[in-house]
Structure 1
Amino acid sequence: MAMYRHDLPQLKDEIFLTDSGLETHLIFNEGYDLPLFASYTLLETDKGRDSLRAYYRQHLEIAKKHDTGFILEAPTWRASRDWGEQIGHCPADLERLNRRAIAMLADLRKESSFGQPIVISGNLGPRGNGYRPDLAMTARESEAYHEEQIGWFARSEADMIAAFTLSTVAEAVGIIRASDKAGMPCVPSFTVETDGNLPDGTPLREAILSADAETGSSAAYFMVNCAHPDHFRDRLTGDKGWLQRIGGIRANASRLSHAELDEAEELDPGNPEELGRDYAELRRLLPRAQVLGGCCGTDHRHVTCIAASNLSAVPA
């Protein structure tokens, strides 16, 4: 049974940590060959599941040290119908693996209890390439596509839905509506280019305000992910209303563009300590950004520095 589906604890005033760049960590640090960047495929083997558990445990230990809550994001960013079909998985396979992912996180939550809330999130990715608006769906098409995976999560112990690396408002709106129908709180996360706009050119402010206008502001909050803070910091201006809708950050440590990252043969981890300081600066502009983690190129070192820069340090 879901623990926090009707009362997400990260909506209160405490910082929650989450994980970092799972797929880039698995590829560049663990040596995995992930088809289409699909980490959910590791759920099919004992070795893969052990690697995923070790990754989450390492991040949970950071939250334990700093006495914060934690968001456990399922490794299911690519585990939807179109991506799964390219990998060779039918819908029945995908349902099994999505539910297996949530069951694994539920077990980790039980074993890792340390007095702070641990929220389980069913993780969605874009239907197309998140770095290019290459599949221009309407909101209705997005809702029809994503409701299948959202339904699997709704029948599991997942507390919420999070959708990362979204590049269009329409896809976010469809995901929010499908989540509402399933009774699941939803957190859409937009990605931006080096100019601070979504890949289709929509300014971040306009994207959030438009998504809220089309859904009655029913999303729990919004996030920004897969961009360096330098890419969007200057865009965090204007009325405080839209800024208060940004409830989390999962930035890249690298300043490279999405196109450059796609072509990179080596991991660019940036500077973990600098990223931690960048987050502290962002949070002065984003008073409701309570959920902090990393994205491409980041790992536990970055989350450690983010925690140290944004929380009172806990002696080792």
Structure 2
Amino acid sequence: MTTLPHLSDRLFITDGGMETTLVFHQGIDLPDFASFDLLRRPGGRQIIEDYFRTYLALAVKNQVGFILESPTWRANPDWGTRLGYSSETLAAANREAIALLQTLRQQYESATTPIVISGCFGPRGDGYSSAIAMTEAEAEHYHRPQMETFQQAGVDMVAALTMTYVQEAIGITRAAQAVGLPVVISFTVETDSRLPSGTTLKDAIAEVDAATDNGPAYYMINCAHPTHFANAFAVDQAWMQRIRGLRANASAKSHAELDESTELDAGNPAELGQQYRELRAQFPHITILGGCCGTDDRHIEAICQACLPLAWAHLSQPALIL
């Protein structure tokens, strides 16, 4: 039985910004930033495997856990239709993505590097905007087919990345509950620490938890720079314990600025690693560390170098005898 990240004190890492790495570093054409579409192209499966092997090697080297997040952020009906997929071929692509990860896990998993397979959901609309929003019921119905496909494919958990408003997060959580899968909700925020919908992180988490009986296994923040959510993290409050993971952008630019950029802003890997270290020092319960737009293996390695000494020191502390 796979130990899920939130049920362990072990540090888990993830990959970085898959789409930005493939597009800007490898020159691969990804219409609509849809990595899963590579699975139907000649040599595409190998591209995805090679990408993940770089990060898996880092996890093995540093003796940390790894979350294999499927390249299916765009593999939902709206984006699939834009790319010419039917419901049947879209489901097949989601299954193939999970099968690829299962093969990689067999090759890399060990006692010191546990590997978790996560089925990745993306938003129905734009990951930077909440302009087109669904009701909770609509979101549950919309995402249910992909959820069922992941459940049948044998994922350990699912994660909804770059959620921009509460109702879609609630719908995905309810869909996961209906099929019996642990679910992670990852919100994105603007430079003011609020979701694109204007909701604060604290309120967003409270609303999802209230509507789903604390349904998500944990929450994450992704597709935002640490400076963007620093204000929300300024005071250690009870709701912060629900956030267990970070997948930050390399760049401190706003979403609007990134949308208009024609060149990649890779930021400073060492600086990002130090920012993660400072956050971990304040919130040691945050044990899932990875990257999003603009990050690559250099950033994840810097995060490991900065955070592992802190993690080992924490784990080596003797337990209190009461």
Does residue 82 of structure 1 match 2:75? Answer: no
> Which residue of structure 2 lines up, in the alignment, with residue 181 of structure 1?
178
Instruction: Give distance in 2, aligned partners of 1:122 and 1:222.
Output: 15
Does residue 13 of structure 1 match 2:6? Answer: no
Any conservation in 1 of the 2:116–2:156 contact (CA below 8 Å)? yes
Instruction: Give distance in 1, aligned partners of 2:117 and 2:192.
Output: 32
Instruction: Give distance in 2, aligned partners of 1:181 and 1:285.
Output: 35
Any conservation in 2 of the 1:236–1:285 contact (CA below 8 Å)? no
**Match of 1:277, SS?**
helix
> Which residue of structure 1 lines up, in the alignment, with residue 197 of structure 2?
200
Task: Name the amino acid aligned to 1:48.
Answer: G
Any conservation in 2 of the 1:121–1:160 contact (CA below 8 Å)? yes
Worse-superposed segment, 206-215 or 296-305: 206-215
> Which residue of structure 2 lines up, in the alignment, with residue 141 of structure 1?
138
Any conservation in 2 of the 1:9–1:117 contact (CA below 8 Å)? no
- Residue identity over aligned pairs, in percent, reads 51
- Pick one of 244, 247, 262 that aligns with 1:247: 244
Q: Kindly provide the CA deviation profile for residues 102-158 of structure 1, in whole angstroms up to 9, marking residues without a partner as x.
A: 000000000112322100000000001010102211111110101110110000121
Any conservation in 2 of the 1:60–1:70 contact (CA below 8 Å)? yes
Deviation at 1:239? 5.5
Instruction: Give distance in 2, aligned partners of 1:253 and 1:26.
Output: 15
Any conservation in 1 of the 2:5–2:288 contact (CA below 8 Å)? no
> Which residue of structure 2 lines up, in the alignment, with residue 111 of structure 1?
107
Instruction: Give distance in 2, aligned partners of 1:137 and 1:258.
Output: 22
Q: Spell out structure 1 runs of 4+ moving beyond 6 A.
A: none
> Which residue of structure 1 lines up, in the alignment, with residue 187 of structure 2?
190
Any conservation in 1 of the 2:6–2:218 contact (CA below 8 Å)? no
- Pick one of 125, 128, 132 that aligns with 2:129: 132
Task: Name the amino acid aligned to 1:261.
Answer: L
Deviation at 1:285? 3.2
Q: Kindly provide the CA deviation profile for residues 45-91 of structure 1, in whole angstroms up to 9, marking residues without a partner as x.
A: 34111111111000011111110110000000000111100111011
> Which residue of structure 2 lines up, in the alignment, with residue 31 of structure 1?
27
> Which residue of structure 2 lines up, in the alignment, with residue 312 of structure 1?
309
Instruction: Give distance in 1, aligned partners of 2:154 and 2:306.
Output: 32
Does residue 264 of structure 1 match 2:270? Answer: no
Q: Which runs of 5+ in 2 are unaligned?
A: 311-322
Any conservation in 1 of the 2:273–2:303 contact (CA below 8 Å)? yes
Any conservation in 2 of the 1:10–1:16 contact (CA below 8 Å)? no
Q: Kindly provide the CA deviation profile for residues 4-59 of structure 1, in whole angstroms up to 9, marking residues without a partner as x.
A: 3xx51442111101100000001001111111110000111341111111110000
Instruction: Give distance in 1, aligned partners of 2:237 and 2:281.
Output: 12
- Structure 1 residues 237 and 11, CA gap change in structure 2 (3 angstroms): farther
For residues 211-226 of structure 1, the aligned pairs below 5 Å read: 211-226=208-223
Deviation at 1:284? 2.7
Q: Which runs of 5+ in 1 are unaligned?
A: none
TM-score (norm 1): 0.95
Does residue 295 of structure 1 match 2:292? Answer: yes
Any conservation in 1 of the 2:266–2:294 contact (CA below 8 Å)? yes
Deviation at 1:312? 2.9
> Which residue of structure 2 lines up, in the alignment, with residue 170 of structure 1?
167
Does residue 95 of structure 1 match 2:91? Answer: yes
Instruction: Give distance in 2, aligned partners of 1:153 and 1:281.
Output: 35
Instruction: Give distance in 2, aligned partners of 1:28 and 1:238.
Output: 37
Instruction: Give distance in 2, aligned partners of 1:247 and 1:139.
Output: 24
TM-score (norm 2): 0.94
Instruction: Give distance in 2, aligned partners of 1:244 and 1:287.
Output: 10
Task: Name the amino acid aligned to 1:164.
Answer: L
**Match of 1:197, SS?**
coil
Any conservation in 1 of the 2:272–2:299 contact (CA below 8 Å)? yes
